[in-house]
Structures are given as structure tokens and as C-alpha cells.
Structure 1
């Protein structure tokens, strides 16, 4: 309190920063980082936050304990601000460590994590189908793959319905299904990382003139991929509550003052593959 004289001003800054590579890679004064979002707020003298009618439970406890010496503040994240994602590099990706860090910059530096939740909209279940024609075969092979829903949460099993109609003269064997994580880094580089996070290879066969209908179950988990490199994670590997990075959900037609094009340095999605031999 002695330090905060009547003319002193105390600000807190919230910054969202993208970094590509390590700190020691910065050369000739050029830093491979970009401040995606900056916001500052005056904490002392208090403007409006202390008189705000709604406080969090933690703020209420601190206000009761410290009384007039406590100055709460609030930050609001803009729409489309990216989540905290860290790309765990592979053995050939020397220096290609990129991470999104959100900091509260003051005399105390505090890193916080931003995550997003997707609501289950209950839309049409995704499906895909293909027809393959072979040389020396008059009739094709038709395969259809479908899911129960579009959005899955971490730790939730994915039931994959496979329907194969083999009208060709070839025998199909060794069907495999997998889930692949696809990460595109478009800032400072055009790197693309494709990593299989769940895989099952079967001995199912589809002889000529027969069909197959079966449901396969996959469950992509970080625990099953912890030793693999090149994965994108929600946060850092050392965090106990870290998961595989979520698919990026964005509002393409948003009217927010924070455009989507300003934050698209990473794109994250997952693909389902069904392959036969």
C-alpha cells in the first residue's frame, strides 16, 4: 500500500502469443513469435471492476479476506481466440516447437490455458462412400462408412459402421480402420503433421460376390500415444489433464471485431480412414 501512491497506476495485460521454435532460435533481432491478442486493464486506481455486482467465488473470498486492499479485475476473451495448443515435435522436426501461450503480464507472470467446449448439435450423422472399379472386373466394389454423430468428446468411443458390397471378382482382406490427427501450421511455415492416434487392423475378408456389415470401435487417447512425437496437445505433455488437441471450432460468419483470419495460424482436424487390401 505504501508503494501505491495517489498518482500510481497499475495495469494488468492479457496476451495471447504464438511461438514457432525455441527462444534461442531468434536471430538478428527477429523473434519467431506473434502477439495475436493484447488487452490491458487498469487495476489501480480501480475503475469499474471493484464495484461490479457479480464476482467469482474466488474473488468474493479474497475481497472478504483483504477488504479494501483487494482490487479484482476481469478479462473477456474475444470470439475465435485460439485455444492453448502445443505441438510435440517429432525427431526430424528440429526446432519446430510451436505453442500458444496466454499470459497475464504484470510483476507476476502467470500462464493460463484456454479451452473450448462443443455442444452436441444433434445434426445428421456423417458418412462417406466410395466405389472402386478394377481391371478385368465387370462389376465394382462399393464401401460405405458412417458414424453415429458428428461430435465426440475426449475419452468417448467412436463406433464406425462399415458396409461393403463386393460385386467384383477380387477378394478383399485385411480391413483396417484408423483415426488420424491432421495439424496445419500456416504461420512462419507450411508444415503439415499427420499422425495416427487410433488404429485397428482386422483379419476380416470380403470374398467376391459377398458383403460385410460390421461395427468397429476406436478410442483415441493421449495415454495410448504419450510416447509418440509430432502430436498436437491441449496444453503441455507434463500437465496431468492434457488431452489430444481438439478440432478447431470457429464461427466463420461471426460479426466479432476479432476476425477469424487473424488467428488462423494452426488448423486442427481429425480424419477417419477405412482401408482394405
Structure 2
């Protein structure tokens, strides 16, 4: 039987180390993260007497590169995993995948399988959209696998004998959605009798990227005020947990209507407003959170960040959330009434996630090409 599958390949500049990986997206299942598997091929004459180390590095850029002056640095680096790949350990508590076994069989005796484990709770891959005039590396959380030759894991690696391949840590939509979001808010008026009541309901809690959100708005005007217009918006919350004040919101979709307005005292109104958040209408907004990108990747709005314990946020990352906010405008003197509902927006497990698990069928598909020097996809037979 002949197996045909594609893998990612990247060589060190001096050609003495070569990295092979079947995939570059690693799924965060909240309680654990998929292990990072690969194969390294080395030149034994070059490595002789030294060791080859493999590391998973998480980088966090929280300021523009062009603003780094006078020693000021807006960049942090976290080493999440570090293992000696060569000489290989005598005992290991894991078995090579079928892809690793076939690569070793094809590449020969100088090929060694490895596995790196990222701890649960590590931050997700997120990129903050730069402005059109910004230059340099974009802000956000990025991952890469680093392989280098050295005597110890803390040795300063030499660029010519080092490999760095970008990867992503991703999450997919949970299999069991939560309860249907619903809220009711009321507003009293000084020196005026009665209340204005706003009931807000979403058709479900979990939405996929590109899906339209149906917002059911029900207004009951028991006051003597007049509702003049209605505005609904999808807000993306970005929490840069490195800072206490690093929280802000971006409007990624909005709609405004006067249909049924002005709503007079004693009247009621029910409307369904449709919102479709997407990147196509937000490409000019700086600071929008996007899914972590590999080279030449199709950008998309960042998915909601799911955490095992929301109170124990990692101090090294970006937490993304979404909510629908509806405002009723009553005029300059009466003010406004607002209601807000959180929801989850993610990618489905099927489709993109199917490639993540393709290794079990020995049919690993390369889903994204990278133009980094010395990197290519190769077919293995």
C-alpha cells in the first residue's frame, strides 16, 4: 500500500538541521492542548558531541515595533516547552504517530521523532490588526517551534543552525451550546411615572464565523417618554491581561433603524434585527483582534476565548469576547436605555478542524503555504 501525504519542511540556513511537521494548528481542548509532534533530521558529523534541543516559544508583542526607542521594549517571550531531541532519551512515555513512523522510515537513521507538550491554559494565538501606516511585526500572541544545536537548553542559539517554524494554538466550537441568551432591563424617570422596558433575546448562544445573528428586540413603553430610534451593534471585547487597564471594545457590526418609531407612551414594539460580524467591513480599524495568522493565511475575526476557569486568566495573553448591545434613544433630555448580551463566536470543528485530526487516516493535507525562506511542503510516498 502506498500512502501519499504532505508535511511542512523547514531547513536551518546551514542545512545541517531539517524539521518536518504534519500540521501547524494545535487544538486547545481547554483542559489540555494537543501535543506538537514532528521529526528532525540532522547531520551527525556536525552535531557530534553536542545536543539538539526543541522548544515551543510563545511571543507577546503589545506595542508597535517602531515605537521601541531608548531601550524601551514592547515584546515578551515565554518558553512553554523544552526537550532534548538528540541524543534521544532512552525512555519516553509516548508512542510515535503513524506519520512520524513513515517519515523516519523514508528519511533514514538520522531522523528522530519528537513531541513537545504545551501546558493547559496557555494563551491563544491572536493578532491585533495594525493600521495601514504601521510597519513591523503586528501586535498579538504568536507561537513558533524552535530547534537549535547547543550544549544546554539555555545556550544562545546561532542563527545558521536554528530553525523557527510558526504554529498556532486554536480553539473550536464546543459540541454542547449553552442556554439561549436573554435579558430584560428597565428604566425609571425622575419626576415621570412609569417605566420603559427593553427585552433582548438572541436565537442561540453559539454562532459560527460568517453566520448572521438574529437579535429579537421587544420594547414596552409604560412611561410618558418617546423612543425615537434603535441601534444594535456587535462588540468585540479585547482584554490584554498584561495590563490592568488593557481592556477595550470594537464595534464589528451595527445597524440603526427608526422602523416603528417614534414609539409613543403606552405602545409596544417587537423587531428582529440581523447582524453579521466579519472582517471585510473592518479592515481599516486598528486594534481589531484577528485569529493568529500564518504566512499568507486568510485573516478572520478572532474567535471567543474559552477558559476552564475565567477567574484564573493567564497574565500573558489576549482574551477575546463578543456581545450584542442594543440602545434605545429617547432624546437629549430623556437619555437612552441599553441592554447587552454576551455570545460565543467560533469556527466549527468540522471543516478546518478535520485537517487537524487527519493524521489518524494517514492523509495529512497541507492547508496553508508559507513563503518563509527554506520552508516548503513535501510529499511523502
Pick the TM interval, shorter chain: 0.7 to 0.9
**Match of residue 62, structure 1, among 103, 109, 128:** 103
**Match of residue 208, structure 1, among 265, 283, 288:** 265
Q: SS of 1:242's equivalent?
A: coil
TM-superposed deviation, 1:141: 1.0
**Match of residue 282, structure 2, among 216, 220, 225:** 225
CA shift in 2, pair 1:88/1:238, >3 Å: farther
CA shift in 2, pair 1:51/1:61, >3 Å: farther
- Contact 1:84–1:100 at 8 Å: present in 2 too? yes
Q: SS of 2:194's equivalent?
A: coil
CA shift in 2, pair 1:37/1:70, >3 Å: same
> How high is the TM-score relative to the length of structure 2?
0.63
Whole-Å separation in 2 of the counterparts to 1:54 and 1:237: 26
Could you say which residue in structure 1 is the equivalent of 2:302? 245
Whole-Å separation in 2 of the counterparts to 1:78 and 1:51: 17
The CA RMSD measured in Å over matched residues stands at 3.1
Could you say which residue in structure 1 is the equivalent of 2:291? 234
List runs of 5+ in structure 1 lacking aligned partners. 255-259
**Match of residue 73, structure 1, among 114, 117, 138:** 114
Q: How does 1:1-277 map to 2 (within 5 A)?
A: 1-4=43-46, 7-23=49-65, 25-27=67-69, 29=71, 31-47=73-89, 52-55=94-97, 57=99, 59-89=100-130, 98-106=139-147, 107-135=162-190, 137-187=192-242, 190-204=245-259, 205=261, 206-236=263-293, 239-252=296-309, 260-277=312-329
CA shift in 2, pair 1:29/1:173, >3 Å: closer
- Contact 1:183–1:266 at 8 Å: present in 2 too? yes
Deviation per residue, 1:216-263 (Å, 9 max, x gap) = 221111122122222111124974332211222111189xxxxx4443
Q: SS of 2:211's equivalent?
A: coil
TM-superposed deviation, 1:192: 3.1
Whole-Å separation in 1 of the counterparts to 2:55 and 2:103: 21
Q: SS of 2:106's equivalent?
A: helix
- Contact 1:173–1:203 at 8 Å: present in 2 too? yes
Q: SS of 1:64's equivalent?
A: helix
Q: Which has the higher strand share?
A: 2
Deviation per residue, 1:60-108 (Å, 9 max, x gap) = 4422321322212112221111111111245899999522121212211
- Contact 2:62–2:140 at 8 Å: present in 1 too? yes
- Contact 2:126–2:318 at 8 Å: present in 1 too? no
CA shift in 2, pair 1:133/1:183, >3 Å: same
CA shift in 2, pair 1:225/1:27, >3 Å: closer
- Contact 2:213–2:276 at 8 Å: present in 1 too? yes
- Contact 2:186–2:196 at 8 Å: present in 1 too? yes
TM-superposed deviation, 1:9: 1.4
- Contact 2:202–2:215 at 8 Å: present in 1 too? yes
TM-superposed deviation, 1:133: 2.2
Q: SS of 2:289's equivalent?
A: strand
How many aligned residue pairs are there? 271
Q: SS of 1:181's equivalent?
A: strand
TM-superposed deviation, 1:275: 1.0
- Contact 1:10–1:45 at 8 Å: present in 2 too? yes
Whole-Å separation in 2 of the counterparts to 1:22 and 1:131: 43
Whole-Å separation in 1 of the counterparts to 2:93 and 2:309: 36
